Amino acid sequence: MAYIVKVESNKAKLYENGSFRRSVGSNVSSASCDDEWTICIENGRAKQYNTKTGSFKRSIGDSNAVSAQINGDSIVISYANGRAKEYKASSGSFVRSC
């Protein structure tokens, strides 16, 4: 199943095969998703949600996050200072600076 995410009205809205399924987060400025996880940037913090259920999992990384990308078990978060850090999606643990 293909999921896409749109940021509308400060919420991340998840669509599955073109049909709206649920919205997650509040004060969302950026979002990225795959079939398992949705990452939202909320007030400068990266927050991880389950794509299928919409349930909150954890906050990841430092403050001042600008954007995030998820691919498999890897989450890369870009920060306002130009740095990027990689985290594991399954555990939220830090992997490396990029």
Set out the domains of the chain in order of their start, with CATH numbers.
3-97 (2.40.10.480)
DSSP labels for 8-28? ETTEEEEEETTEEEEEE-SSE
Whether the CB-CB separation of 5 and 11 falls below 8 Å is answered with no
Residue 94 has pLDDT above 90, yes or no: yes
What would the two tokens of residue 79 be?
């920060």
pTM: 0.94
Using one digit for the tens of pLDDT, what is the confidence trace for 45-89? 999 999 999 999 999 999 999 999 999 999 999 999 999 999 999
Whether the CB-CB separation of 43 and 10 falls below 8 Å is answered with no
Question: CA-CA distance, 29 to 12, in Å (whole number)?
Answer: 9
Task: Give residue 24's pLDDT.
Answer: 97
